[in-house]
Structure 1
């Protein structure tokens, strides 16, 4: 597999590229950024793992060259959040960046799996979808908004609440909806192992912490950045799941990602029976295969608390998605 990281010299891009360099299934790693990508590539190239690393900058049509023959594109490019900024505050700057990247992918590597990290993910994924549609290259089975960090945080925080912080890697908590604030809906009632305390105050606190966990990092870094290392970890994990499925290496486990529900209309019917028909994009449980999304899996039974949270998520997502879909007319 050839993987391309766009935004490889940034706070997420560098640790993500390091983690992907260690993936034995990646034989070629292509790194692009507006500056310093060649330096990052040279540094990683000294690591004695299987993949060859190449760096590209805008000179000599670098973005297009970085994408030639790639199988998977991971996009952490864009401006990071600063104190007081919401993900929506980032929309205009990052929208233009992601739009131009999507144009290059649609023209150069239209069959690649595209994994969007750039925030706000809720709006960036629809921008990519619209660009691909314009080029008659859109396959909803191959476009993903990376929400894995929400699941990683959920397992960490619920394990801590259970007094088992060292066991966090063994916890699985479904997280659906979107990837910002109230659009993030952790289904804590389905936590495995279960949350041991039946306490509404604790449930409210955990839900809020999972939804706004990124703010903890922004505040703790005192304006020096947002969640980069944890995001890189989560993105590498999801990238590996896509690569494993694409190569048919194993039966794909259920993963979660923010996707176009049109990727599996039949599977989406069960989701829409719960959330309604107001949002075309939603983070849902997925089964992956060599061509991307094989199936959208149903939610298990949800509680009234979670039903209310899902209603709030859908209302917020409508505006996020509309902004992304309509962005193309402003470019």
Structure 2
């Protein structure tokens, strides 16, 4: 009897501390992922979510926010450095999701095994002396490796891609999935929610409204002039002067630069990006749950324009994207902006495709 009690005590301690150290074997992983272990006592059922790049500037606050989401039952945190510390920190939060940490590329497939939703904020920020091409090549390579892992371990998961430049990394991911024979365009979504979040905030400031009551569709892409807020379709319906339209459009397009300059070289938009990513991930999970009328903007494979990818309003459901909405009626200002956006988008998309096909 005493032996049995000691064994059970050791098992409990092992379960409690398991998340602090990365998995050392496939057998250990299989044991830990059994339902009886993965759920906290009394925890409700939910979805399995992985964050790739969890120790980064976006990844850490995003990990915190996803740990708070009641739709998440299992949260896997993966990065090439510092994952044990982030995992230990987040795991102390008394919410229902059970947290597991994974460290290094050798544990990528374990981190992804059985996931319903994969969120990818992984990548490096631009550093002094680094050209835009240097940055692109590093982040493109990271996305390629992670998507190869997804193809092997959770090919039917919904993928939320945050890594910049989104206008190129989403086409990169699509090409990787095609090569692996696992491409499901309805499950690959570029996260452009930060543009919508900013648009709602800035428009609310001008109108004197609560930003939570404002909804601005933002289409096109996720960089500079490719970001096209449709101010003619704002809800609640309202009108703007020509000066207000110009001011709001430019501020929404340059929101990232505004943060970088305010931080004086000490970083970029990490907190607001994590908030936006968590908001979009929650929408994807509600869609997976079967909630009706879950509509968000996202950079996706699309026939809305002649381009192969375009950010549009999409309705989310159990299979990922269930419907992609047309642009609707545009103002003259927006039609002009659309042509500028498409020209730059075409180059970014092509750059991503060529990175994999070369």
Both proteins in one fold, TM over 0.5: yes
Q: Secondary structure at the match of 1:254?
A: strand
Matches within 5 A, 1:163-242: 163-164=208-209, 167-196=210-239, 198-242=240-284
Cross-structure match for 2:65: 19
Q: In the aligned structure 1, how far is the partner of 2:292 from the partner of 2:121?
A: 28
Q: What do the CA deviations read for 1:35-76 (whole angstroms, capped 9, x no partner)? A: 1111111111111100100111117x2111100111110000
Structure 2 residue aligned with 1:264: none
What does the per-residue CA deviation read over 1:10-42, in whole Å, with 9 as the maximum and x for residues that have no partner?
010000000000111111000001111111111
**Structure with more contact order per residue of length (Cα contacts < 8 Å, sep ≥ 6):** 1
SS at match of 2:294: coil
TM-score normalised by length of structure 1: 0.91
Partner of 2:29: none
Counterpart position of 2:189:
144
- Whole-angstrom distance in 2 between the partners of 1:236 and 1:183: 23
Match of 1:299 in 2: 327
Superimposed CA distance per residue, residues 230-271 of structure 1 (whole angstroms, 9 cap, x where no aligned partner) = 0000000000111111121x203221100001xxxxxx3xx3
What residue in structure 1 maps to residue 356 of structure 2?
328
Distance in 1 (alpha carbons) for counterparts of 2:313 and 2:233: 13
Match of 1:260 in 2: 301
Distance 2:132 2:259 in 1: 14
Which residue in the other structure is 1:286 paired with? 314
**Which residue does 2:336 correspond to in 1?**
308
Q: Which runs of 5+ in 2 are unaligned?
A: 1-46
Contact 2:114 2:154 in 1 (8 A): yes
Who wins on radius of gyration, i.e. which is larger?
2
- Normalization by structure 2: what TM-score? 0.84
Correspondence for 1:153: 198
2:144 corresponding residue in structure 1: 99
Question: Aligned residues, how many?
Answer: 312
The CA RMSD measured in Å over matched residues stands at: 1.7
Question: Which runs of structure 2 are paired with 1:265-280 in the superposition (5 Å)?
Answer: 268=303, 271-272=304-305, 277=306, 279-280=307-308
CA contact (8 A) 1:8 1:14 kept: yes
The alpha-carbon distance between structure 1 residues 296 and 77, as it changes in their structure 2 partners (threshold 3 A), is same
Q: Spell out, residue by residue over 1:205-228, the C-alpha distance to the aligned partner (whole angstroms, 9 max, x if none).
A: 110110110001111111111100
Structure 2 partner of 1:4: 50
2 CA distance for matches of 1:258 and 1:103?
A: 20
Give, in whole Å, the separation in 2 of the partners of 1:37 and 1:152: 28
The match for 1:29 is: 75
Q: Of 88, 96, 103, which aligns to 1:50?
A: 96
Give the deviation of 1:88 after TM superposition.
6.7
Pairwise CA distance, 1:82 = 5.6
Q: Match for residue 265 of structure 1?
A: none
Matched, 1:162 2:207: yes
Task: Find the partner of 1:133 among 171, 178, 184.
Answer: 178
In 2, distance between residues paired with 1:290 and 1:179?
25
Shift of 1:81: 4.2
For the structure 1 residues 40 and 111, does the alpha-carbon distance in structure 2 shift closer, same or farther, using more than 3 Å as the test? same
What is the rounded CA distance, in whole Å, between the counterparts of 2:314 and 2:357 in structure 1?
A: 31
The alpha-carbon deviation at position 152 of structure 1 amounts to 0.4
Gaps of 5+ in 1: 262-267
